[in-house]
């Protein structure tokens, strides 16, 4: 299968997932369960297993978050930039997209972003504050 074919298939999966999540958030979990039976292996699917027992706010939150990520991914399809890393612009390996269809960066850039976080934002705020003080003098 070519990369293009794989990406088209991923789009189909994302659209179906989005519909299932929409309906789940409206209280209809049947479609989500149906998808779960076809494909397993992510966190939300594991969460969907427990849905019969308890429909808790945590699950709703996870679904809302995933729905947002899926909508973003579908928008990138429509803009023809799906599958390209937002960090370095290189194509994201198809194996990574299969695992996380709404990934926006390659593993290298993800690692770099993770090492940047952790106290980084407060440093940035200090810098902004310093500049503001200099300007006002
Ligand atoms: Zn990258």
Domain limits, the chain? 3-105, 108-137
Q: Where are the alpha helices (DSSP H) in 26-82?
A: 30-38, 43-49, 57-78
User: What spacing in Å lies between the alpha carbon of 92 and ligand 1's midpoint?
Assistant: 7
pLDDT tops 70 at residue 129: no
Q: Which residues pair with 91 in a beta bridge?
A: 84
44 C-beta neighbours (distance < 10 Å), count? 19
CATH 1.20.120.910 fits 3-105, yes or no: yes
User: What spacing in Å lies between the alpha carbon of 88 and ligand 1's midpoint?
Assistant: 4
Residues constituting the chain: 137
User: What spacing in Å lies between the alpha carbon of 111 and ligand 1's midpoint?
Assistant: 9
User: What spacing in Å lies between the alpha carbon of 84 and ligand 1's midpoint?
Assistant: 8
The larger pLDDT score, comparing residue 105 to residue 57, is at 105
pLDDT tops 80 at residue 48: no
């Amino acid at each position: 299968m070519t990369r293009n074919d794989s990406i088209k298939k991923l789009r189909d999966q994302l659209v179906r997932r989005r519909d299932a999540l929409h309906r789940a958030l409206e209280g209809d979990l049947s479609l989500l369960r149906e998808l779960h039976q076809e494909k397993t292996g992510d966190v939300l699917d594991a969460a969907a297993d427990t849905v019969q027992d308890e429909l808790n706010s945590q699950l709703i939150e996870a679904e809302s978050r995933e729905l947002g990520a899926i909508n973003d991914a579908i928008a990138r399809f429509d803009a023809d930039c799906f599958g390209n890393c937002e960090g370095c612009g290189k194509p994201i390996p198809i194996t990574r997209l299969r695992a996380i269809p709404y990934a926006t960066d390659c593993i290298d850039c993800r690692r770099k972003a993770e090492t940047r976080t952790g106290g980084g934002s407060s440093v940035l705020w200090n810098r902004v504050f310093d500049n503001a003080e200099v300007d006002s003098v």
